[in-house]
Amino acid sequence: MADVITYREAVAEGIAREMRRDTSVVCLGEDIGAAGGVFKTTTGLHEEFGPERVWDTPISEQAIVGAAMGAAMTGRRPVAEIMFSDFLACCWDYLANEIPKVRYMTGGQVTVPLVVRTANGGGLGFGAQHSQATENWALTVPGLKIAAPATPADVVGMMAAAIRSDDPVVFFEHKALLATKGAAPPPGHVVELGRACVVRPGDDVTLVALASMVPLALKAAEVLSGEGIEAEVVDLRCLVPLDAATVLASVCTTSRLVTVEENPYQGGWGATVVSIVADEGFGLLDAPVRRVAAECVPLPFADALEEQVIPTVDKVVMEVLRLAAY
C-alpha cells in the first residue's frame, strides 16, 4: 500500500479491510458495484468480493436501508451507502424510528450492526438539495452513533470501528475532503469511536471542529498565530459518542472556546458542545463561548454565495479576534 492515500481511496480501503477480516460484512447501494460509486469510494470492492457481497440496488433509499436493517438483524454486517446525506430524509423512518430502537425494544436480544455511510456537506456548489451537512439530523436520534472523519487515516480506522460496532453507525464522508491526501494507516488500524484528537496544541483559545471544518480550523489557527494567538484545534471525530472530556481538558488550558461547524447555527452540534462546557466547565471560562456555523438558509449553487453561508477561515479568525479582545 502506498505511503500516501486520498480520503476517497481510504473509504474503499477501510471497507475492504473489514470485508477481508469478516465474511459477514456486505455492501449495498446505488452504483457501488462495477461503477465503483458515484464518488469512486467503492472502487475495487466488486472486483475483489463479487456480486454476492457487493450489491447494486434500485434507486430507493428506503429499499437500501430497509434491506440493510433486515440483513443486520439476521447475521450480516451491512455497509449501506446513501449517495448524498440530504437523501437520508428519504429513509428517515428506518433511520430514526426503526433501526436505533430494535436493540432497546428487544431488551438486547436483537442487535442491528450496520453502517449507513453517506457523502456529506457543501463547498462544491452542488446546491440546496445536495450540499447539506446533516450530522445534526442524526444527533437528534437516540441509539445512533455518528462518525465524521477528517483524514484518510481516520476514515480507515473509524470505518473499522463502525463496522465492528453492534450498534448502528451513521458514517459521514465529506465530499470536499475526498481528494485530500494523508498518511496511509498501518494494517489493523482502528480508531475507537468517541475519541477526539487534539490536532494542534495551543494555549489561547480552543477551536472544536468536525470533518471538513478541521482543516479549515487549522488554517485559521495558522493565521491567528501570526497575530500572536495560539489556538488549540480539537477534531471531535464523532458526535455520538461525544468526547466532552477532551474538549473540557482543552478549555481548562485555554479558557476560551469557539466551535466551528458546517451545520446550520439553529440546532447545530456546536450548541450541544457549548452547553456541556457551560454546564460542566463554566468556571474554566474567561470569556463567552462562541459558535461559527452555517447560516440558516438553503445552500446556494453559486460559489460566492455559498461562501457567504458556510464557515470560512476569515469568519473563524474574526470571531477569535473578537473573543481575544473580550
Task: Give the active site residues.
Answer: 61, 130
Cβ neighbours for 107, distance < 8 A, ≥ 6 positions apart:
none
Q: How far apart are CA 77 and CA 75, in angstroms?
A: 7
8 A C-beta contact, residue 130 and residue 118: no
Secondary structure class of 4 (helix, strand, coil): strand
Pairing of strands 25-29, 145-147: unpaired
Identity of the residue numbered 97: N
State the Rg of the chain over Cα.
Answer: 19
Contacts 24+ apart (CB under 8 A), 270-275: 270/208, 272/139, 272/239, 272/242, 273/208, 273/236, 273/242, 273/244, 273/247
